[in-house]
């Protein structure tokens, strides 16, 4: 049956999850390790590349900030304090300059956090809501050109992939540890066997503003 195809004994599951925990390292924003075992961001209502090309003119200079996984910055163990600052964006932009960003929202992956962790941490970036960002930028003097915010599913078909994911996204899953969270992982396996998938939500927003 479909259910029995997922069923493994607890010792096998534990060994699989410990192995995923062991190999949970990333270079660049590369999630190929769990390719085919999870799915996200395949149905956003905007195309970030097309939006940039729409506003891009040949005479413009481009500044790319805060992309990739931030692995080097994380290695410095410096306190996390958010992604960008409207005052600095205003300072570096020329008049009529355009700021375009696609951001991970404050409530990203919260259902998965609640599923795995024994103690639910506060939101890591509580200001990451479109209305808060838009309000701050407009107060500074920016004109909003585009603004969209969505919640979309993130799906896992393997608990080991979720273990790897939770270690990579450590700011969302602080202090996650296979042995400490083992009962939660067994519960996640039960959810997977019952429903065929573990599902949460991603939180994304797009914001385009002009100085």
pLDDT tens, 111-138? Answer: 999 999 999 999 999 999 999 999 999 9
Task: List beta partners, residue 207.
Answer: 101, 147
Q: Which residues contact 175 (CB under 8 A, 6 or more apart)?
A: 117
Classify 102 as helix, strand or coil.
strand
Beta carbons within 10 angstroms of residue 106's beta carbon: 16
Q: What is the pLDDT of residues 40-96, one digit of tens each?
A: 988 899 999 899 999 988 888 888 777 665 555 566 666 655 768 899 999 999 999
Prediction pTM value: 0.84
Could you give the CA distance from residue 91 to residue 87 in angstroms, rounded to a whole number?
A: 6
* pLDDT at residue 189 is higher than 60: yes
Alpha-carbon gap, residue 107 to 132, rounded angstroms: 14
């Amino acid at each position: 049956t479909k259910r029995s195809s997922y069923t493994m004994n607890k010792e096998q599951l534990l060994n699989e999850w410990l192995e995923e925990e062991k190999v949970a390292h990333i270079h660049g924003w590369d999630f190929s390790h769990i390719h085919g075992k999870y799915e996200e961001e395949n149905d956003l209502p905007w195309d970030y590349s097309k939006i940039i090309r729409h506003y891009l003119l040949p005479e413009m200079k481009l500044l790319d900030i805060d992309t990739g996984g931030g692995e080097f910055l994380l290695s410095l163990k410096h306190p996390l304090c958010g992604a960008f600052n409207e005052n600095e964006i205003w300072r570096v932009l020329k008049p009529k300059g355009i700021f375009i960003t696609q951001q991970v929202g404050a409530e990203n992956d919260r259902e998965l956090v609640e599923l795995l962790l024994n103690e639910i941490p506060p939101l890591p970036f509580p200001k990451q809501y479109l209305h808060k960002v838009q309000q701050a930028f407009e107060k500074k003097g920016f004109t909003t050109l585009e603004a969209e915010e969505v919640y979309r599913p993130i799906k896992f078909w393997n608990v080991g992939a979720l273990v790897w994911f939770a270690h990579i996204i450590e700011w969302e899953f602080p202090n996650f540890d296979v042995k400490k969270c083992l009962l939660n992982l067994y519960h996640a396996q039960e959810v997977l066997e019952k429903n065929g998938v573990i599902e949460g939500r991603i939180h994304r927003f797009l914001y385009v503003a002009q100085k």
